[in-house]
Amino acid sequence: MKGQVLKLLREHNTTFLSGEKMSQVIGCSRTAIWKHIDALRKEGYDIVASQNKGYQLRETYPMLSEHEILSYLPNDSLFTNVIFYRSINSTQMAAQKQVSDGMTHGTLVVADEQTNGKGRLGRTWHSEKDSGVWMSLIVKPDIAFEQAPQLTLLTAVSVTRAIEKLSKVNVTIKWPNDLLINGKKVCGILTEMQADTDRLLSVIIGIGLNVNHKQFSDPLTDIATSLFIETGKTYDRSQLIGGILDEFTKLYQLYLDDGFAIIKPLWEAHASSTGKKISARTATTVIEGIALGIDNEGVLLLEDEAGKVHKIYSADIDL
């Protein structure tokens, strides 16, 4: 019912709405309305009250909360269990704790702020409050251990499609996990897996998407961007999360049914590096050459000057 109160206030946010009117529309007492307004305020919603006129929602930015996220989840969503934090060190770490506590498939961990966000290769992921989508998905696919990185590519396609649908900007994917707009990074994906000797137990897919950032400070200014910077619009992050999970749910099912072959062309349609000269920094060496694309397993193929084709399983790519 709190969601209904919020929805009503949002639909009438240019005017005041009386408690009586709301109680009639929703079909509950005015005391119940008051309680929900109080709860929404405690969550951080700026709801002003005028004695004769009622309530008005002042939205400085779209709030992120568990019930907002739940209200945007598709009906057939793979993710039915949402764990929301106003602030946490890292959703990735919280998801790991969930996994060790026995929570696995279909759990979504989201935070409004991360105080110790993790990027790939031990880097820090800047995740200030009110501005981004910081979330980790827990899934338990019945696939081989070596196939887990394919989920990074599947996720990249899901996020790309969701952004493009909502914002109409063109997003490209830099193998394996960077989403770029106009050459700057808007989203990163961190896939971590839990396995015993020969079995994949679960996969945690961390998604960091820069949404409503007005600017970045050095050293990120030249390399990072946000949906706001690219389009001049503020986005409802819960809606974006719903869109991403909708795309993910569909692609994940296709992937389980038909394998990576169905994801490959979707990924290729957005690839930023295919046919270009790139440099791949692996754990042990740097290989330069032309990116040929990915193979049927999602592995990057890189042809060096001597014509030798290298299979790149994990690397940092410079375009």
Q: Kindly list the residues in this chain that would bind ligand BTN in the complex (CB under 6 A).
A: 90-92, 114, 117-120, 123, 125, 127, 134-136, 177, 188-190, 206-208
φ, ψ for residue 309 (rounded to 5)?
-100, 120
* DSSP string covering 145-189: GGGTTHHHHHHHHHHHHHHHHHH----EEETTTEEEETTEEEEEE
Question: How far apart are CB 170 and ligand BTN at their closest, in Å?
Answer: 20
- Output 37 or 94, the one with its CB closest to ligand BTN: 94
- Output 130 or 303, the one with its CB closest to ligand BTN: 130
Report which DSSP code applies to 292.
E
Question: How far apart are CB 211 and ligand BTN at their closest, in Å?
Answer: 12
Alpha helices (runs of H) in the chain, residue ranges in sequence order:
2-11, 19-26, 30-42, 66-72, 91-100, 150-167, 227-231, 237-258, 264-268
- Output 122 or 265, the one with its CB closest to ligand BTN: 122
Encoded tokens for 6: 């919020």
Core vs surface per residue 197-216: b (16+ CB within 10 A) or e: eeebebbbbbbbbbbbbeeb
- Output 135 or 302, the one with its CB closest to ligand BTN: 135
Nearest Cα residue to 228 out of 284, 169, 141, 151 = 169
State the residue for tokens 């049927």: 296
Question: How far apart are CB 114 and ligand BTN at their closest, in Å?
Answer: 6
- Output 54 or 114, the one with its CB closest to ligand BTN: 114
215 known member of a binding site: no
96 known member of a binding site: no
Question: How far apart are CB 188 and ligand BTN at their closest, in Å?
Answer: 2
| C-beta nearest to ligand BTN: residue | 188
Whether omega for the bond prior to residue 62 falls within 30 degrees of 0, making it cis, is no
Question: How far apart are CB 110 and ligand BTN at their closest, in Å?
Answer: 9
Question: How far apart are CB 89 and ligand BTN at their closest, in Å?
Answer: 8
For residue 314, is it left (φ>0), alpha (ψ between -120 and 50) or beta?
beta
- Determine the Cα–Cα distance for residues 220 and 213; give it in Å rounded to an integer: 12
- Output 68 or 112, the one with its CB closest to ligand BTN: 112
Which residues participate in the annotated binding site for biotin? 114, 185
Which residues participate in the annotated binding site? 114, 185
